[in-house]
Structure formats: C-alpha cells, structure tokens
Structure 1
Amino acid sequence: MEVWRLARVLSRRLSLQSSACGAALTSRSRVQCRGATGLQGNTSRSYFSATDSTALVYRRHGEPSQVVQLETLRLPALEAKSALVKMLAAPVNPSDINMIQGTYPIPLDLPAVGGNEGVGQVLEVGSQVQTVKVGDWVILRDTGLGTWRTAAVFNEDDLVTVPSDISLLSAATLGVNPCTAFRMLSDFESLSPGDTVIQNAANSGVGQAVIQIAAAKGIHTINIVRDRPDLQQLTDRLKAMGATYVIKEESLRKPEIKDIFKVYPQPKLAFNGVGGKSATELLRHLQTGGTMVTYGGMAKQPVTVPVSALIFKDVKIRGFWVTQWKRDNKHDGDALSVMLEELCTLIRAGKLSAPFCTEVDMKDFHKALDNAMKPYISSKQILVM
C-alpha cells in the first residue's frame, strides 16, 4: 500500500462505543488505562485511527475465552526512537494461550495485550529511528510485546524488517516456528544430505517447517503424528511438503519401524515437542551419540530418559527456546538477519510455505481462541486486522 493511501487511512476514525481508557499503551504491552470497556457491535478491520487501537486484552489469567476482551486503547505519543505500526496479521500460538493462562515462564504485567508473533507495516517513525522506515513490513524481535491489536507504538530495537514480496501469512508466521526449525537443524548436529531426523508433533507449525527446511537440504524426516480421523489427509499433506515418512505414534513401538532403518540411516537428531512417552520413544530410535532437542511439551508430562540410552548409546538431551536465542544474539544484527534471509529465500523458491492456516477476522477472536485449543486441529489460527 502506498504511503499516501496509508495517510488517508490514518485520517479515518474508527466508529466505536465510548471507552473510559484515557492513558497510553506502552511498548511492552502494559495497558495503562482505567475502567476501559469492551467494544460493542462489529468493527471493520479496514479502519483505525491514528490515536486509538483496537486490541485483545486480558486483565487476569484464566481460560482465554473467558478473560480476553476486545477493547479500545489510546496510543502513546511517538518518541524519537519508536515507530507507529499498523498490525496486519497475527497468529494464535500455544505460547499465547499459556501466557493468558499464566503458565508461561515470562510473566507480564497485567492488563496485557495478547499475541507474541505477527507482521505489521510501519506508518510513522520517530526523528531518531534508523533501522526501519515508513512502508516497511516488520515483525517483533522479542516475546510479550502484544500483537493482537490494530496498531501499536514499538521501540525501534524491537522491530525487524522483513521483505514484502513474500505472502502475508508467511511473514506473519516467520519469526517463531521457521526460526525454531532452522536453528534446531543447524545448531545441534552436523547434518549432511542423506542423513535422517525424527520428530513428534510433525503437524505443528515447527514440524511443518522442519519437514520443508530438511527436504530443501536433502535430509530425510521421519514424522510422528497422533492417530486421528483425517490421518490419511494429513499424511498426504505432510508428504507433499517433503516428509519422507509419516507414521502414528503407536507404530514407533512396532517391529516394522526397523524396516525404515534398512533403507535410511538411524536419526542423528530428534525433535521433541510433546514430552512424556512420545519423547521416550524418539530416544529409542536415535543412533549412538545422537541428540534429542526438546522445544515444547504439549503432553505436559516429563521426559523420561531410559538408562540404557545414556549408558549404551550416549545420547545427548538438549533444550531450545527461540526467544532466548534471539536475546542472546540481540547485539549481533547479522545472526538474525542472515537466518531470516535464508528462510525468505526458501519461501520465494516455493520450498517453505506458511503452515496450514485459517484466517479469522479480529472481531471473531473467540472462534480463533477456541480452535487453537482443540485437539487434532492442524490449522494455525491467524487473526487478520
């Protein structure tokens, strides 16, 4: 969208019911307003004002469908090192749900705006901003900044530019899952074309990214999913992405799994996003000296490591959190930009697509939250502003 068209959009006022919110929303997602009321009726994602933002706010921890409200917030004044960003699209991720429930390891001051990931467009910059400019597409570097809103003022250091020649859904889902997959494939074992990795939660956003990035590098993937009514459809979709094998968790405990390793080498690397028995089964199939990397725990059960795997196979147990990686590399601008550029190159080449997505209008956020918490839902919910 051209800058002059953005200026026209800014001049429009969103027709809203009165709100008692009289103060600003800080760049760290802290809502500084007293007595703000939820919006009534429908809102249009095509309109917003330069002074107000429509946001999904929670004022206490609990079940998302019960504590998240659509509210109007006053935008703070633009400072020298900040930028006004119109949010375009933002996913609903498991970490978002955990934050709202109060179970995520990063505590936020309440009330807070939901959402940790998404893409926006810069509408205005402060006088000292150097790394972004008007018209840029941007994603957020850190967690807890709040992306479920139509507009926000962010500090320049929290923004990372991304190319606008990739799809909106690819940009909105670029900063977490593909980065997690890329780093896990790069940082723990030296992999070569023809090697094998094994993973559970293969239909997750991370799992889909692992499949595609590995396939682009000539690495085979053994992908574990839970049994479900649409298993064959899911299998076909993952194989179309480049999955070598897609098997049910139950098959990991059956003799036919050995037939796979007559054709392909045993995995050097395992990715665990589930925990519990599923993680234990991954360990059993690692080659001697291999590594299991845990990045999630959907089963909410501890990882049990067989003594035999430690003594006789000398497996390594590691963990990975992409938020910490970004923080550790915050002052190395090249580390993140080089990774994002490589991912965007794969996207442009048609080798890395966005995960299965369902777009949901912001006013229908309850539908997105409910679907994000249902089992066997392979489609990521994307709030479109």
Structure 2
Amino acid sequence: MTQLLGTQSPAAVGGNEGCFEIASVGSGVKDLAKGDWIIMRSTGFGTWRTHTLATEQDVLKIDNKEGLTPIQVGTVSVNPCTAYRMLRDFETLKEGDWFIQNGANSGVGRAAIQLGKMWGYRSINVIRDRPDAEATEKMKQELYALGATKVVTESELMDRSFGERVKEWTSSGPHRVKLGLNCVGGKPTSALIKCLSQSGHLVTYGGMSKQPVNLPTGLLIFKDLKFSGFWVSRWSDAHPVEKKKCVDEILEYTRLGLFKDVPVETVQWDWDTPESVLKEAVQGTLSGFRAGKGVLVYGDT
C-alpha cells in the first residue's frame, strides 16, 4: 500500500533516495537477506513509501551498517555524492588548491567542505545574508567547524573589493582557485566566476535563484574559463558500480566520525498520518533558511 501526494489520480511515487530494510526475500535471492539495509541502484524508483517490492538488480546493499543510522544511509546518495563527484571529476585538485562555492550551508556545500578538508583542499564558501548579524556569524562558525577555510556572505562576495581579498588569501603559494561549484545562478554567480583563476572551471548543479548563469565574454576569452553542468541522477544511473564505491567510501568516513551528515528535519509518516501533514512537509522544502534537510521517517526508524 502506498500513499500518493499532489495528484488527483495515482501517477507515480516520489523520492530518489532512502534507506530500506529488507523484510523478506524470495527463495532465489542469494546475496540479500532479511534485515539487510539497501538503497536504490537507480533514480526514479520512488522512495516515499512504506513498503515496496524490488529485484536484486534494483538495489545496492549496504555491506556494513554497524555504526550508521538509517538517516545517514538514506541521505548519502544525492548530496554527498554530488559534492564528491564535482570535486574529483572536473579538475585535478592537488593538496593546497582552492575551490569556491555558493550555497555553502546546503547539503552539497557541507559535504564539499568536509571532503575538501579531508583531501587537503582549501575552500571559499558563500552563504546568503541572514536577517541579523548574529545569525550570520552563527552560520559562519558552523561551517568553520566543518573545515571551511573562508566563509563569506553574498553581500561580501558582491563587493568590488572581494577580488583583492581572494588574491590576498591565495597569494602565499602557487595554489589557485581552480574550481567553482554553483547552485544559485544570477548576479552572485557572476561575481563568483570572477574569483576563478586562469583556466578555472565552474560546475553548475542547481539554480536556486531561478536566474541564468551569465558568462562574461572577456573571462571566456582571456582567462580561458570552462563551464560544465552536473546532475548526480544521470551520473548515478550511468555508473552504478562507481556509485556503490562512492557511497561506501562516504559511509566509511561517517562511521569513523570524519564526515558529519547534514542536519535534518524529520517528519513521521505512519499509516494514520494526515495527508495535510505530508503536503506541508513537502511544501516546506521550498522555503528559505531551513534548519535542515527534510526526511520522511516510516515506522520506528
């Protein structure tokens, strides 16, 4: 039985990520057993449900669930994997190299900060201005605690003197700002692009502002900048083996206490949960300045 949201008639089950526990297996199943934890091999399966039937080919087994929570496993395959692939696949960053990103307090941003710190990269992290200075400073300190090198607001980024600040930060050695990660778009991203070094690379994976990314002609010609897009769903579907390796590595970091999962806002979903509660939770993901990633929790998890 499955609850469907947002349509007048049954259409599809939403959700690309989640952690399931196997309740039973068929007699022909060899590599999975009751009690195993699994995630979906491919996107579009539909994880906003209490139960489902699946084949062995539909799922990826979590080989070692000790020391992990279902929420950590259920949130690993999108945001952390997005950050991992963008840091690894577009430019060859060496220890001491810099990257710059907006949306730094998002799930992807927090993951990029932590992975970059572990791998020896330095980061410039842009967050939106908060309603008051105290809230802004609190968020900055939260990201510094994760391993951020520098944290600035969009208004600081947009200031004409910001480029000189970046030069000052990066002038102590040969290391450059080789990579930019963008999930915003609009004028703040245009300002971020100017911070990239010669032959730098901007990777866009989102567009929260719903504004286009404007590519300055002069920077394209004279700085030889590169621009790419990344969609982790397409990457995951095309590389299931690499997805498994990526998930396993991040979960091992989590198990060792080296990687902190993103803050979450949980919504309990039981058989008698009113549909209005679920709709409100989904609608809340569209608002700004949320305390954490929305997660639906079924049963006693």
Is 1:278 aligned to residue 188 of structure 2?
Answer: yes
Quote how far apart the aligned CAs of 1:300 are. 1.4
Q: Which residue of 1 aligns with 2:12?
A: 112
Runs of 4+ in 1 over 4 A off after TM superposition: none
Contact 2:199 2:225 in 1 (8 A): yes
Shift of 1:257: 4.6
Q: After superposition, where does 1:29-108 map in structure 2 within 5 Å?
A: 53-59=1-7
The alpha carbon displacement at 1:180 in A equals: 0.6
Tell me: CA distance 1:309–1:118, structure 2 relative to 1, closer, same or farther (3 Å).
same
> Counterpart in 1 of 2:74?
172
Q: 2:237 is paired with a residue of what secondary structure? A: helix
CA-based RMSD of the aligned residues comes to 1.8
Q: Which position in structure 2 is the counterpart of 1:357?
A: 264
Report SS of the residue matched to 2:168. Answer: helix
TM-score w.r.t. length of structure 2: 0.88
Aligned to 1:345: 252
1:311 matches 2:221:
yes
Q: TM-score, normalised by structure 1?
A: 0.70
Indicate conservation of the 8 Å contact 1:224/1:247, yes or no: yes
Deviation at 1:279, TM superposition (A): 2.1
Check the 8 A contact 2:4/2:13 in 1, yes or no.
Answer: yes
Q: Which residue of 1 aligns with 2:210?
A: 300
Larger Rg: 1
CA shift at 1:127, angstroms?
Answer: 3.1
How far apart, in 2, do the equivalents of 1:136 and 1:374 lie?
Answer: 35
The equivalent residue for 1:239 is 144
Cα deviation for residue 54 of structure 1 reads 4.4
Instruction: Name the residue aligned to 2:85.
Output: 183
Corresponding residue number in structure 1 for 2:116: 214
Does 2:278 match 1:371?
Answer: no
Contact 2:43–2:236 at 8 Å: present in 1 too? no
Residue 262 (structure 1) aligns with: 168
Q: CA deviation at 1:256?
A: 4.2
| Contact 1:58/1:113 (8 A) holds in 2 | no
Render the CA deviation track for 1:202-238: whole Å, top value 9, x for unaligned: 1111111111111111111111111113222211111
8 Å CA contact 2:97, 2:177 repeated in 1: yes
Instruction: Note the residue ranges of structure 1 that are not aligned, 5 or more in a row.
Output: 1-52, 61-66, 68-109
SS at match of 1:132: coil
Give, in angstroms, the shift of residue 141 of structure 1.
2.1
CA apart distance, 1:366:
3.4
* Structure 1: distance between partners of 2:223 and 2:291: 34
**What amino acid maps onto 1:133 in structure 2?**
A
* Equivalent position SS for 1:227: coil
Partners of 1:130 and 1:298 lie apart in 2 by 44
1:324 to partner: Cα distance: 1.1
Change in Cα spacing, 1:58 to 1:127, as seen in structure 2 (3 Å) is farther
- Name the SS for the 1:381 alignment partner: strand
State whether residues 203 and 378 of structure 1, in contact with CA within 8 Å, keep that contact through their aligned partners in structure 2.
no
Work out whether 1:149 is the aligned partner of 2:149.
no
* Structure 1 residue 258: Cα displacement: 2.1
- Kindly state the Cα deviation for residue 135 of structure 1 after the two structures are TM-superposed: 1.2
Identity of counterpart residues, as a percentage?
A: 39
Counterpart of 2:103 (choices 177, 196, 201) is: 201
Kept in 2, the 8 Å contact 1:196–1:267? The answer is yes
Q: Which amino acid aligns with 1:259?
A: R
Matched to 2:196, the amino acid is L
Pairwise CA distance, 1:130:
3.7
